[in-house]
Amino acid sequence: MGMKRVKVRVPATTANLGPGFDVLGLALRLYNTVEMEVGPGKSGRKLQIDIVGEGEENLPRDRRNIVYRAAQLVFDRFHLAPKTLHLKLINRIPLASGLGSSAAARIGGLVSANRLCGERLSIKEILNLAAEIEGHADNVSAAMVGGLVVSCISSPKGRKGREIEFVKLNPPKNLSCVVCIPSFQIMTRYARKILPKTVKFEQAVFTSSRVTILLAALIKKRYELLRMAMEDKLHQPYRRRLVKGMEVVFEEALKAGALGVSLSGAGPSILAFTASSPPSCAEKVGKAMRKAFARHKVKSRYLVLGIDKQGTKIV
Protein backbone atom coordinates (compact mmCIF):
# COMPACT_ATOMS: atom_id res chain seq x y z
CA MET A 1 0.00 0.00 0.00
CA GLY A 2 1.62 3.26 -1.15
CA MET A 3 0.95 6.74 0.19
CA LYS A 4 -2.74 7.51 -0.11
CA ARG A 5 -5.08 10.13 1.24
CA VAL A 6 -8.84 10.62 1.54
CA LYS A 7 -11.21 13.14 3.12
CA VAL A 8 -14.73 12.23 4.10
CA ARG A 9 -17.62 14.33 5.41
CA VAL A 10 -20.24 12.68 7.65
CA PRO A 11 -23.49 14.25 8.91
CA ALA A 12 -24.95 14.32 12.39
CA THR A 13 -28.12 12.31 12.85
CA THR A 14 -31.14 12.30 15.08
CA ALA A 15 -32.59 8.87 15.80
CA ASN A 16 -35.98 7.60 16.98
CA LEU A 17 -37.99 10.82 16.32
CA GLY A 18 -40.05 9.69 19.32
CA PRO A 19 -41.77 6.37 18.53
CA GLY A 20 -39.26 5.04 15.97
CA PHE A 21 -36.94 3.50 18.55
CA ASP A 22 -33.93 1.92 16.78
CA VAL A 23 -35.77 2.26 13.45
CA LEU A 24 -35.83 5.89 12.30
CA GLY A 25 -32.88 8.14 11.57
CA LEU A 26 -32.69 11.59 10.02
CA ALA A 27 -29.45 13.17 8.80
CA LEU A 28 -28.78 16.79 9.78
CA ARG A 29 -26.66 19.50 8.19
CA LEU A 30 -23.93 19.47 10.79
CA TYR A 31 -20.76 17.66 9.77
CA ASN A 32 -17.62 15.99 11.01
CA THR A 33 -14.75 15.45 8.62
CA VAL A 34 -12.23 12.64 8.67
CA GLU A 35 -8.97 12.97 6.77
CA MET A 36 -6.99 9.80 6.52
CA GLU A 37 -3.54 9.32 5.10
CA VAL A 38 -1.78 6.00 4.98
CA GLY A 39 1.77 5.43 3.91
CA PRO A 40 4.49 2.85 3.63
CA GLY A 41 6.48 4.54 6.44
CA LYS A 42 10.07 4.00 7.46
CA SER A 43 10.16 1.62 10.35
CA GLY A 44 7.50 0.04 12.53
CA ARG A 45 3.83 1.05 12.62
CA LYS A 46 3.07 4.65 13.34
CA LEU A 47 -0.21 6.26 14.24
CA GLN A 48 -0.90 9.96 14.52
CA ILE A 49 -4.34 11.34 15.37
CA ASP A 50 -5.11 15.08 15.39
CA ILE A 51 -8.47 16.21 16.72
CA VAL A 52 -9.98 19.68 16.33
CA GLY A 53 -13.33 20.73 17.81
CA GLU A 54 -15.64 18.56 19.91
CA GLY A 55 -13.65 16.16 22.08
CA GLU A 56 -10.28 17.74 21.28
CA GLU A 57 -9.45 17.72 24.97
CA ASN A 58 -10.51 14.24 25.94
CA LEU A 59 -10.94 11.86 22.99
CA PRO A 60 -8.23 9.20 22.78
CA ARG A 61 -5.50 9.81 20.20
CA ASP A 62 -4.23 6.24 20.24
CA ARG A 63 -5.50 2.83 19.19
CA ARG A 64 -8.61 3.26 21.36
CA ASN A 65 -9.92 5.99 19.06
CA ILE A 66 -13.17 4.77 17.47
CA VAL A 67 -12.50 6.26 14.02
CA TYR A 68 -9.19 4.40 14.00
CA ARG A 69 -10.81 1.20 15.27
CA ALA A 70 -13.49 1.27 12.57
CA ALA A 71 -10.85 1.87 9.88
CA GLN A 72 -8.76 -0.97 11.24
CA LEU A 73 -11.68 -3.40 10.79
CA VAL A 74 -11.60 -2.68 7.06
CA PHE A 75 -7.80 -2.93 6.77
CA ASP A 76 -7.89 -6.21 8.69
CA ARG A 77 -10.61 -7.63 6.48
CA PHE A 78 -8.43 -7.11 3.42
CA HIS A 79 -5.21 -8.07 5.20
CA LEU A 80 -3.75 -4.63 4.60
CA ALA A 81 -1.56 -3.12 7.24
CA PRO A 82 -0.61 0.47 6.52
CA LYS A 83 2.72 1.18 8.19
CA THR A 84 1.80 4.76 8.96
CA LEU A 85 -1.67 6.13 9.50
CA HIS A 86 -2.45 9.79 10.02
CA LEU A 87 -5.97 10.87 10.99
CA LYS A 88 -7.19 14.42 11.19
CA LEU A 89 -10.62 14.68 12.75
CA ILE A 90 -12.60 17.89 12.59
CA ASN A 91 -15.51 17.35 14.97
CA ARG A 92 -18.56 19.58 14.95
CA ILE A 93 -21.06 17.04 16.28
CA PRO A 94 -21.34 17.32 20.08
CA LEU A 95 -20.31 14.11 21.87
CA ALA A 96 -22.69 11.86 23.81
CA SER A 97 -25.54 14.27 23.15
CA GLY A 98 -27.92 12.17 21.05
CA LEU A 99 -26.73 13.54 17.71
CA GLY A 100 -24.96 10.50 16.34
CA SER A 101 -21.35 11.49 17.03
CA SER A 102 -20.22 7.90 17.50
CA ALA A 103 -22.12 6.75 14.41
CA ALA A 104 -20.41 9.53 12.43
CA ALA A 105 -17.01 8.52 13.79
CA ARG A 106 -17.48 4.86 12.88
CA ILE A 107 -18.91 5.60 9.44
CA GLY A 108 -16.09 8.11 8.85
CA GLY A 109 -13.47 5.47 9.71
CA LEU A 110 -15.11 2.70 7.68
CA VAL A 111 -15.76 4.80 4.57
CA SER A 112 -12.28 6.36 4.56
CA ALA A 113 -10.53 3.02 4.93
CA ASN A 114 -12.80 1.43 2.35
CA ARG A 115 -11.89 4.15 -0.12
CA LEU A 116 -8.19 3.61 0.49
CA CYS A 117 -8.73 -0.12 -0.03
CA GLY A 118 -10.31 0.49 -3.44
CA GLU A 119 -14.02 0.62 -2.50
CA ARG A 120 -14.22 -3.11 -1.98
CA LEU A 121 -17.12 -2.94 0.48
CA SER A 122 -20.65 -2.06 -0.65
CA ILE A 123 -22.80 0.44 1.26
CA LYS A 124 -24.68 -2.45 2.79
CA GLU A 125 -21.49 -4.19 3.89
CA ILE A 126 -20.27 -0.97 5.48
CA LEU A 127 -23.59 -0.63 7.28
CA ASN A 128 -23.49 -4.22 8.48
CA LEU A 129 -20.11 -3.55 10.06
CA ALA A 130 -21.18 -0.18 11.47
CA ALA A 131 -24.37 -1.53 13.04
CA GLU A 132 -22.49 -4.44 14.53
CA ILE A 133 -20.04 -2.18 16.35
CA GLU A 134 -22.63 0.49 17.16
CA GLY A 135 -25.27 -2.00 18.35
CA HIS A 136 -28.15 -0.39 16.47
CA ALA A 137 -28.69 0.70 12.89
CA ASP A 138 -30.70 3.93 13.02
CA ASN A 139 -27.93 6.55 13.29
CA VAL A 140 -25.38 4.75 11.11
CA SER A 141 -27.87 4.23 8.26
CA ALA A 142 -28.93 7.88 8.17
CA ALA A 143 -25.32 9.06 8.51
CA MET A 144 -24.32 6.87 5.57
CA VAL A 145 -27.07 7.61 3.06
CA GLY A 146 -28.60 10.87 4.31
CA GLY A 147 -32.24 11.98 4.48
CA LEU A 148 -34.88 10.10 6.39
CA VAL A 149 -34.02 6.43 6.74
CA VAL A 150 -35.99 3.48 8.05
CA SER A 151 -33.75 0.58 9.01
CA CYS A 152 -33.61 -2.61 10.97
CA ILE A 153 -31.22 -5.43 11.71
CA SER A 154 -32.54 -8.69 10.33
CA SER A 155 -31.33 -12.25 10.69
CA PRO A 156 -31.93 -13.88 7.33
CA LYS A 157 -32.57 -17.61 7.68
CA GLY A 158 -29.79 -19.91 6.68
CA ARG A 159 -27.27 -17.10 6.50
CA LYS A 160 -24.63 -16.28 9.01
CA GLY A 161 -24.66 -13.01 10.89
CA ARG A 162 -27.14 -10.23 11.02
CA GLU A 163 -27.84 -7.87 8.19
CA ILE A 164 -29.13 -4.37 7.86
CA GLU A 165 -32.14 -3.60 5.75
CA PHE A 166 -32.77 0.06 5.07
CA VAL A 167 -35.05 2.24 3.01
CA LYS A 168 -34.24 5.87 2.31
CA LEU A 169 -37.32 8.05 2.05
CA ASN A 170 -37.60 11.47 0.49
CA PRO A 171 -36.67 13.84 3.27
CA PRO A 172 -39.58 15.94 4.52
CA LYS A 173 -39.79 19.35 2.83
CA ASN A 174 -40.21 22.76 4.43
CA LEU A 175 -39.25 21.54 7.87
CA SER A 176 -36.48 22.83 10.11
CA CYS A 177 -34.96 20.86 12.94
CA VAL A 178 -34.32 22.75 16.14
CA VAL A 179 -31.94 20.80 18.32
CA CYS A 180 -31.56 21.95 21.91
CA ILE A 181 -28.34 20.55 23.38
CA PRO A 182 -27.91 20.52 27.17
CA SER A 183 -24.40 20.98 28.48
CA PHE A 184 -24.29 17.53 30.10
CA GLN A 185 -23.70 14.22 28.33
CA ILE A 186 -25.36 10.82 28.42
CA MET A 187 -23.68 7.66 27.22
CA THR A 188 -26.11 5.75 24.99
CA ARG A 189 -25.02 2.52 26.62
CA TYR A 190 -26.34 3.78 29.93
CA ALA A 191 -29.52 5.22 28.41
CA ARG A 192 -30.25 1.76 26.99
CA LYS A 193 -29.53 -0.06 30.23
CA ILE A 194 -32.28 1.78 32.07
CA LEU A 195 -34.95 0.61 29.62
CA PRO A 196 -37.28 -2.18 30.82
CA LYS A 197 -36.93 -5.76 29.58
CA THR A 198 -40.64 -5.97 28.77
CA VAL A 199 -43.41 -3.47 28.02
CA LYS A 200 -47.18 -3.74 28.19
CA PHE A 201 -49.09 -4.66 25.03
CA GLU A 202 -50.86 -1.29 25.28
CA GLN A 203 -47.52 0.57 25.24
CA ALA A 204 -46.38 -1.38 22.19
CA VAL A 205 -49.62 -0.73 20.28
CA PHE A 206 -49.61 2.95 21.25
CA THR A 207 -46.07 3.32 19.94
CA SER A 208 -46.46 1.31 16.74
CA SER A 209 -49.57 3.33 15.86
CA ARG A 210 -47.64 6.57 16.37
CA VAL A 211 -44.63 5.52 14.31
CA THR A 212 -46.87 4.45 11.43
CA ILE A 213 -48.78 7.74 11.48
CA LEU A 214 -45.46 9.59 11.79
CA LEU A 215 -44.11 8.10 8.56
CA ALA A 216 -47.38 8.72 6.75
CA ALA A 217 -47.46 12.31 8.03
CA LEU A 218 -43.87 12.96 6.92
CA ILE A 219 -44.41 11.39 3.50
CA LYS A 220 -47.76 13.12 2.86
CA LYS A 221 -46.67 16.40 4.50
CA ARG A 222 -49.48 16.20 7.05
CA TYR A 223 -47.36 18.13 9.51
CA GLU A 224 -50.33 18.97 11.72
CA LEU A 225 -50.20 15.31 12.80
CA LEU A 226 -46.58 15.43 14.01
CA ARG A 227 -47.40 16.48 17.55
CA MET A 228 -49.42 13.34 18.19
CA ALA A 229 -47.34 11.16 15.88
CA MET A 230 -44.10 11.81 17.78
CA GLU A 231 -45.50 10.53 21.08
CA ASP A 232 -43.82 7.42 22.40
CA LYS A 233 -44.23 4.94 25.22
CA LEU A 234 -41.24 2.67 24.60
CA HIS A 235 -38.26 4.71 25.73
CA GLN A 236 -38.94 8.38 26.45
CA PRO A 237 -40.99 7.77 29.63
CA TYR A 238 -37.98 5.89 31.07
CA ARG A 239 -35.35 8.34 29.89
CA ARG A 240 -37.05 11.41 31.33
CA ARG A 241 -35.25 10.87 34.61
CA LEU A 242 -31.93 11.25 32.78
CA VAL A 243 -32.97 14.55 31.20
CA LYS A 244 -34.13 16.98 33.83
CA GLY A 245 -36.96 19.15 32.55
CA MET A 246 -37.59 17.01 29.45
CA GLU A 247 -41.38 17.22 29.56
CA VAL A 248 -41.39 20.96 30.26
CA VAL A 249 -39.05 21.53 27.32
CA PHE A 250 -41.42 19.48 25.13
CA GLU A 251 -44.41 21.55 26.30
CA GLU A 252 -42.69 24.90 25.86
CA ALA A 253 -41.44 23.98 22.39
CA LEU A 254 -44.97 23.07 21.32
CA LYS A 255 -46.40 26.24 22.89
CA ALA A 256 -43.82 28.29 20.96
CA GLY A 257 -45.02 26.76 17.69
CA ALA A 258 -43.12 23.48 17.24
CA LEU A 259 -44.96 20.97 15.06
CA GLY A 260 -43.63 17.99 17.00
CA VAL A 261 -40.96 17.23 19.55
CA SER A 262 -38.94 14.26 20.80
CA LEU A 263 -35.77 13.21 22.52
CA SER A 264 -32.95 13.14 19.96
CA GLY A 265 -31.66 9.58 19.96
CA ALA A 266 -30.95 8.52 23.52
CA GLY A 267 -30.76 12.19 24.59
CA PRO A 268 -30.05 14.50 26.24
CA SER A 269 -30.65 16.73 23.18
CA ILE A 270 -34.23 17.48 22.28
CA LEU A 271 -35.44 17.75 18.70
CA ALA A 272 -38.30 19.96 17.58
CA PHE A 273 -39.65 20.20 14.05
CA THR A 274 -40.84 23.62 12.92
CA ALA A 275 -41.97 25.10 9.64
CA SER A 276 -38.85 26.32 7.83
CA SER A 277 -40.39 29.66 7.01
CA PRO A 278 -40.45 32.18 8.43
CA PRO A 279 -37.02 31.43 10.00
CA SER A 280 -38.10 33.31 13.14
CA CYS A 281 -40.36 30.34 13.92
CA ALA A 282 -37.42 28.01 14.59
CA GLU A 283 -35.56 30.69 16.57
CA LYS A 284 -38.59 31.23 18.78
CA VAL A 285 -38.85 27.51 19.51
CA GLY A 286 -35.12 27.25 20.21
CA LYS A 287 -35.25 30.11 22.70
CA ALA A 288 -38.30 28.65 24.44
CA MET A 289 -36.50 25.30 24.82
CA ARG A 290 -33.38 26.93 26.28
CA LYS A 291 -35.48 28.90 28.71
CA ALA A 292 -37.36 25.80 29.82
CA PHE A 293 -34.10 23.93 30.46
CA ALA A 294 -32.78 26.96 32.36
CA ARG A 295 -35.80 26.79 34.66
CA HIS A 296 -34.49 23.37 35.67
CA LYS A 297 -30.98 24.75 36.09
CA VAL A 298 -29.79 23.00 32.94
CA LYS A 299 -27.54 25.05 30.66
CA SER A 300 -28.16 24.46 26.98
CA ARG A 301 -27.70 25.86 23.49
CA TYR A 302 -29.72 25.31 20.37
CA LEU A 303 -28.99 24.87 16.68
CA VAL A 304 -31.38 25.25 13.78
CA LEU A 305 -30.42 22.64 11.22
CA GLY A 306 -31.67 21.68 7.82
CA ILE A 307 -31.96 18.07 6.72
CA ASP A 308 -28.93 16.57 5.01
CA LYS A 309 -29.86 14.72 1.83
CA GLN A 310 -26.48 13.37 0.75
CA GLY A 311 -25.17 11.36 3.64
CA THR A 312 -21.48 10.54 3.77
CA LYS A 313 -19.45 12.10 1.00
CA ILE A 314 -15.87 11.94 -0.17
CA VAL A 315 -14.83 15.59 -0.40
Q: Which residues bind ligand HSE (CB under 6 A)?
A: 15-16, 21-22, 98, 136, 138-139, 188, 191-192, 235, 265-266
Q: Can you tell me the distance from the alpha carbon of 199 to that of 205, in angstroms, rounded to the nearest whole number?
A: 10
CB of 20 to ligand HSE, least distance (A): 8
Interacting residues of 100 by C-beta distance below 8 A, sequence separation 6+: 11, 12, 13, 14, 15, 25, 93, 139, 142, 143, 265
Handedness of CA 303, 309, 312, 315 (dihedral sign): negative
CB of 13 to ligand HSE, least distance (A): 8
Interacting residues of 92 by C-beta distance below 8 A, sequence separation 6+: 12, 30, 31, 32, 53, 54
112 within 8 A of 6, measured Cβ to Cβ: yes
Q: Can you tell me the distance from the alpha carbon of 83 to that of 182, in angstroms, rounded to the nearest whole number?
A: 41
CB of 52 to ligand HSE, least distance (A): 24
**Chain residue at closest Cβ approach to ligand HSE:** 265
Q: Which is nearer to ligand HSE, 137 or 249 (CB)?
A: 137
CB of 110 to ligand HSE, least distance (A): 18
Q: Which is nearer to ligand HSE, 31 or 223 (CB)?
A: 31
Q: Which is nearer to ligand HSE, 98 or 268 (CB)?
A: 98
For the chain, the residue count is 315
Q: Can you tell me the distance from the alpha carbon of 81 to that of 75, in angstroms, rounded to the nearest whole number?
A: 6
Q: Which is nearer to ligand HSE, 89 or 266 (CB)?
A: 266
Q: Can you tell me the distance from the alpha carbon of 253 to that of 69, in angstroms, rounded to the nearest whole number?
A: 39
CB of 217 to ligand HSE, least distance (A): 20
CB of 192 to ligand HSE, least distance (A): 5
Interacting residues of 91 by C-beta distance below 8 A, sequence separation 6+: 32, 51, 52, 53, 54, 55, 56, 59, 101
Q: Which is nearer to ligand HSE, 192 or 287 (CB)?
A: 192
CB of 184 to ligand HSE, least distance (A): 16
Query: Given 3-state DSSP classes, what are the helix, strand and coil percentages for the chain, each rounded to the nearest 5?
Result: 35, 30, 35
Q: Which is nearer to ligand HSE, 97 or 128 (CB)?
A: 97
Q: Which is nearer to ligand HSE, 83 or 192 (CB)?
A: 192
Interacting residues of 215 by C-beta distance below 8 A, sequence separation 6+: 24, 150, 169
CB of 254 to ligand HSE, least distance (A): 21
Q: Can you tell me the distance from the alpha carbon of 232 to that of 253, in angstroms, rounded to the nearest whole number?
A: 17
Q: Which is nearer to ligand HSE, 164 or 256 (CB)?
A: 164
